[in-house]
Amino acid sequence: MTLPSKRILLIISGGIAAYKSLDLIRRLRERGASVRVILTKAAQQFVTPLAAGAIAGERAFTDLFDAVTEFDIGHIRLARDCDLVVVAPATADLMAKMAGGHADDLASTVLLATDRPILIAPAMNPVMWSHRATARNLAQLQADGVKTVGPNAGEMAEAGEAGTGRMAEPLEIVAAIERLLAATGTPRGILSGQSILVTSGPTHEAIDPVRYLANRSSGKQGHAIARAAAEAGAAVTLVSGPVKLPDPPGMKVIHVESARAMLAAVEAGLPADAAVFAAAVADWRVAEAGTQKTKKTTAGPPTLSLVENPDILATVAKRKTDRPRLVVGFAAETERVVEYARAKLARKGCDWIVANDVSKESGVMGGDRNTVHLVTARGVEAWPSQSKEEVARALVARIAEALKVPATPVK
């Protein structure tokens, strides 16, 4: 597996080479990547959403105004919830749209909205490829940082046509993807031989069969940390609360609902060399959840009797046996972030706290960026604002450094 946990967004545009993109999906998935697919209207004349979705393992996306996904701005999630955007084939028309910043369908809108690296595999008639307009558009895209693979020279689909314009072969595109992601990803192997436990997402604490207490955690940061650790070679166990994110490949994923279920899964996942508790666990639960839906009455709203949930971070940090060598907690605060994080570090008994401001103005909850402070016994490091994937890779690199230090023998 050369692309473990990598998330590829593949845009297929309309050209006869689109049939090769189905093989590209298969090649990426067999290397451990997850693939989401967008098909333009023209692409659907050559391959069907059903075929692309069946090979990718999830539905293919075709419509900018899809009522199922656009209720929460689905095109923005597609643009950001990936490590790389690949356009294969990239037709002359789509390249022109990209160069001009057009956004009149799902593919072009996602390409304009993404902040991820973009790789295109051009495919068109040789005369179209050599046209001055295409050359101008290509120069603009390259100046904008878009990477290219191909096109190759050879026979075209049209009889009697030959020259440069054939889409690169799927394995060539895979190789280009590997090179591009290797330059931006977590260094391979820095956590080889290490086991990492990660918690992510919220917990849901039942009030009755249809209602629950929860928080706004999306799980994006915790899932990003798990992916980065897997990319670094670790054996990862991810304990995830209820999230709307796909399971990262290349690791063991345990799904839970409540804080008590998360604690049980965490303890079952020990021993581990390091544990990162990124989940936003509900502090309280209802003492006695109703077995039937609570109905409105003339007596007014019901009284909810709350009890405290188990403290998963403190429980693991203070274990006498099977305590991970490194225990990392998260502090999501809306004020006095560093002050509260320092107090939490001392109170919980963990080794590090990753503190962040989750006030409404920060946009962290459910967003794609994060600004954190790493709080340790040695002091506080203020990290710059960056994507959650970048935070994850930086944290994993620091974990790898810490685990290189030999453990202190128990006397």
What's the chain's Rg over C-alpha atoms? 24
Q: DSSP labels for 91-107?
A: -HHHHHHHHHT--SSHH
Residue 410 lies in a domain: no
Both 345 and 301 in a single domain?
Answer: yes
CB 203 within 8 A of CB 165: no
Same domain, 159 and 308: no
Reported as a pLDDT band with limits 50, 70 and 90, residue 375 is: very high
Q: Report how far residue 157's alpha carbon sits from residue 162's, in angstroms, rounded to the nearest whole number.
A: 9
Same domain, 298 and 241: yes
pLDDT of the residue at 410: 44
- What pTM, to 2 d.p., does this model score? 0.61
Tokens of 317: 């940090």
**Tally of domains in the chain:** 2
The whole-angstrom separation of Cα 334 and Cα 115 is: 27
pLDDT in tens, 383-411: 888 888 888 989 999 999 999 866 554 44
Residue 120 lies in a domain: yes
Residue ending a domain, among 147, 165, 184, is 184
Residues 104 and 213 in one domain: no
pLDDT at residue 341, rounded to an integer: 94
Specify whether 200 is located in the same domain as 112: no
- The reply to whether 260 and 382 lie within a common domain is yes
> What's the pLDDT tens digit per position in 62-90?
988 765 554 444 567 788 788 899 999 99
Q: Is residue 270 domain-shared with residue 388, that is, in the same domain?
A: yes
Q: Sign (positive/negative) of CA torsion 124, 129, 132, 137?
A: positive
190 within some domain:
no
Of 184, 206, 223, which residue sits at a domain end? 184
Check pLDDT > 70 for residue 320. Answer: yes
Picking from 24-28, 154-158, 345-349, which range would have the lowest pLDDT averaged per residue?
154-158
- Residue 321 to residues 2, 262, 270: CA-CA distances in angstroms? 36, 19, 10
Q: What angle do CA 250, 254, 260 make, to 5 degrees?
A: 155
Residue 54 inside a domain? The answer is: yes
The enclosing domain of 263 has a CATH number of: 3.40.50.10300
* 318/306 Cα distance (integer angstroms): 25
Task: State how far the Cα of 44 lies from the Cα of 64, in Å rounded to an integer.
Answer: 15
pLDDT, tens digit, 9 for 90 and up, residues 135-175: 999 999 998 889 999 888 877 666 677 788 889 899 889 98
Which structural domain, as residue segments, surrounds residue 66?
7-184
Residues 40 and 145 in one domain: yes
**Domain end (from 162, 184, 206):** 184
Residue 409 lies in a domain: no
Residues 265 and 394 in one domain: yes
Q: For the residues 102-121, what does the mean pLDDT come to?
A: 91
Q: HSE, CB side, 13 Å, CA atoms: give it for residue 281.
A: 23
Structure tokens at 224: 């990003």
DSSP element (H, E) containing 62: none
Number of H helices, E strands in the chain: 13, 21
Between residues 4 and 56, the one the model is more confident about? 56
In a domain, 155, yes or no: yes
In the chain, the N- to C-terminal Cα span, in Å, equals 41
Active site residues: 215
Regarding whether 82 and 29 lie in a shared domain, the answer is yes
CATH number at residue 47: 3.40.50.1950
Is residue 256 a contact partner of residue 282, using CB atoms and an 8 Å limit? Answer: no
